[in-house]
Amino acid sequence: MTIAGYILFAFLVLRFLVLLVNFLYRPYLPKAKHQAEWPMVSVLIPARNEENNLPTLLTNLQNIDYPNYEVIVCNDSSTDGTEQLLSKFSTQFPQLSFFNNEPLPEAWIGKNFACHQLAQKASGQFLLFIDADVKVQPQLLKKSISYMQKQQTKLLSIFPEQIIKTTGEWKTVPLMNWILLSFLPLPLVRWRWFSSLSAANGQFMLFDADNYRNNLWHKKVALRNVEDILIARSMKKQKMRISVLLGNNDIACRMYNGYQQAIKGFALNMHQYFSGYRLWMAFFVMATWLRLPFFVLSGQFWLLGISIVLLATMKLMYARLSFYPLSKVFAYHYSQLFSFLSIGLHNLRNKQKGSMEWKGRKYEV
């Protein structure tokens, strides 16, 4: 019992240290440095039934403070008014072009094939893949390109600041940053070694174009439904330098609309946050649930007290990093634990079934 308690406590201390590193690191884009010339950037957007989200993003991109960019949208078999919307915007947005995707080959899943087609039509020195539901600020491109050039990275991925509107979303969406920030020391992602120290978010992935064209990253993960993390891991395995940051106010997104959509969406790829190991995911879920009750039942009250202090401090740091109100972070703590358990069970159920449906398409798991 004592040894098990020490193991649970040591795991918490390790997560505390990781979160402390990230808190001190302040993982946001720095201000852009002035440049006489800016390289060409291709902003690439896969869009499937996005008529409600695209107007905001395209308007943001019209107002972007960057002198040399193009915007290309792939209309990915949309059944709503996406194509009509793009036709309208293209008449007033000279940098915008769009195309309807080719029929989906058997060896691909939808988003990866859309991204692959987008890259083939892009002419930029940098390729920025972003989702249609993000919101961007005018300085985003300058800050991102300046950062990539200074750090000499082949990939920069940003986890957008999350817009959360409903109770169901507060119960689920913050789990992404909670796991990321307490599990992965973001400064070490830039190391060329240890592919396990990698992450990425498909909502914002900025590639060096030569590197992308030489590797055709989306083609290499054509049938995989967690393309972002898998691409990042593959790049690290090849000793390429990548970076992962948080969005601050440079880029924001409402990832899911409501509780059920969030549970289903996170369950699609939750195990990839744990290097692809569902056993490691299960241990993380159980440790999160059992730690404090275990200390009470085993009489290890001094470990209980220290653990509560560590958890409270972690919540404070994570709230500051994610720009979440402290009242929400503490009020939804136990609701998020239940959601975390539900996501893990859904993930295991998907694995057992071998497939799941998302946005009208079936994916192998």
pLDDT at 357: 65
Q: Cα separation of 255 and 196, whole Å? A: 25
Q: What is the pLDDT along the chain (365 residues), one digit of tens a residue?
A: 578 888 889 999 999 999 999 999 999 999 998 888 999 999 999 999 999 999 999 999 999 999 999 999 999 989 999 999 999 999 999 999 999 999 999 889 889 999 999 999 999 999 999 999 999 999 999 999 999 999 999 999 999 999 999 999 999 999 999 999 999 999 999 988 888 888 999 999 999 999 999 999 999 999 887 899 999 999 999 999 999 999 988 999 998 888 888 898 888 778 777 777 788 888 888 888 888 888 888 888 898 999 999 999 999 999 999 999 999 999 999 899 899 889 888 888 877 777 666 565 565 65
| Domain-wise residue ranges, the chain | 27-165+185-255
HEC letters along the chain? CHHHHHHHHHHHHHHHHHHHHHHHHCCCCCCCCCCCCCCCEEEEEEECCCCCCHHHHHHHHHCCCCCCEEEEEEECCCCCCHHHHHHHHHCCCCCEEEEECCCCCCCCCHHHHHHHHHHHHCCCCEEEEECCCEEECCCHHHHHHHHHHHHCCCEEEEECEECCCCHHHHCCCCHHHHHHHHHCCHHHHCCCCCCCCCCCCCCEEEEEHHHHHHHCHHHHCCCCCCHHHHHHHHHHHCCCCEEEEECCCCEEECCCCCHHHHHHHHHHHHHHHHCCCHHHHHHHHHHHHHHHHHHHHCCCHHHHHHHHHHHHHHHHHHHHHHCCCHHHHHHCHHHHHHHHHHHHHHHHHHHHHCEEEECCEEEEC
CATH of domain 27-165+185-255: 3.90.550.10
Cα torsion angle, 164, 174, 308, 298, sign: positive
Say if residues 235 and 242 touch (Cβ distance below 8 Å): yes
pLDDT at 286: 83
pLDDT at 312: 95
Q: Cα separation of 345 and 205, whole Å? A: 29
pLDDT at 41: 98
pLDDT at 361: 59
Residue 152: Cβ within 10 Å count: 10
pLDDT at 233: 93
311-325: b (≥16 Cβ within 10 Å) or e: beebbebbbebbebe
Q: What global pTM score does this model have?
A: 0.91
pLDDT at 291: 85
